[in-house]
Amino acid sequence: MKKMLVLMLLAWNFAALPAWAEKQSDQTKRAQIHTELGAGYFGMGKLGVALDELNTAIRADSKYAPAYNILGLIYMELREFDKADESFKRSLSIDASNSDTHNNYGWFLCQRNRVDEAIGHFMNALKNPLYTTPEKAYLNAGQCSLKKGDDQGAEDYFLRAIKFQPAPPQAMYYLSDIQFRRAKYNNAQFYLEQFMKSGPTPEGLWLGARIAHRTNNRDAEANYGLQLRKRFPDSREAIAYRNRQFDNADAAEVRQ
């Protein structure tokens, strides 16, 4: 769950008070400050302090939508899912155009296996031309599509995600895995190499070993396996390599 929250937190823009802040009420200014403090504590894993800050923000201004957005993330981490759902809905009832909230709520719904609803929120996030991180919504929509076995839909979303700079490396991994499962090994290797430019990971090395195994490239297979054993000896991918489980076609979730 923590890895998911890190992904979602990246969608939140910790901006300084904008130039027009002077026109805000004192209550809204206080709500904004406490929301940003709460988001910062949440990022550090200090959930109790973060919750206190968000509740202070809401007491200052009960209609400050971003506070409910971050509150939803905190309740997700606390596994209080009804409260998380309620918080995201409250945020959107105040500001239905907020792309960050749509993206975060979509991710929450995806983890609750409410896939179609989730993708709808990702698409709503993308309707805002001022949304600064559309690649994250496309990436999340792609991962959510994989949950319902829609490889084609997922591929379309991932291809859209990598058109942005910097492209999310996770999209490259999933594109590689889709091509691998289609037995298009050259394409799979191409996307894997793009993914690995951001550094070796257990899932990347394991996918590389599986591609090499399928193409009878024993040197590459051994090299990927060696890196797995040396860098990530206790990972599930290293264990799968040692057990020669090359026919396991399930995509690993990319670690953050």
- pLDDT tens string 25-68: 889 999 999 999 999 999 999 999 999 999 999 999 999 999 99
The C-alpha angle with vertex 101 and arms to 100 and 107, in degrees rounded to 5, equals: 95
Instruction: Tell whether 70 is covered by a domain.
Output: yes
**Domain stops at, among 95, 114, 132:** 95
Contact between 222 and 237 under an 8 Å Cβ cutoff? The reply is no
What's the rounded Cα separation, in Å, for the pair 228 and 172?
19
- pLDDT < 50 regions, the chain: 1-22, 256
pLDDT of residue 105: 98
Residue 229 domain-assigned (yes or no): yes
Please give the tally of structural domains in the chain. Answer: 2
Structural domain range at position 245: 168-256
Preceding omega of 166 cis (within 30 degrees of 0): yes
| Both structure tokens of 201 | 């990971």
Domain end point (choices 95, 126, 156): 95
Residue where a domain terminates, one of 36, 65, 95: 95
How does DSSP classify residue 165? S
Q: Is 88 within a domain?
A: yes
Residue 77, number of CB atoms within 10 A of its CB: 17
The pTM score is 0.85
Question: Which residues touch 1 (CB under 8 Å, ≥6 apart)?
Answer: 76, 77, 79, 111
CA dist 77 and 107 (Å) reads 13
CATH number of the domain residue 208 falls in: 1.25.40.10
At residue 8, the pLDDT reads 45
CA angle, residues 155, 159, 165, in degrees to nearest 5: 150
176 in the same domain as 91: no
Does the residue 46 lie in any domain?
yes
pLDDT of residue 165: 87
> Does residue 83 belong to any structural domain of this protein?
yes
* 105 within domain boundaries: no
Distance CA 166, CA 91 (A): 29
Does some domain include residue 203?
yes
Spatial separation of the C-alpha atoms in residues 145 and 99, rounded to whole Å:
19
84 within 8 A of 111, measured Cβ to Cβ: no
SS3 content of the chain, % helix, strand, coil (to 5): 70, 0, 30
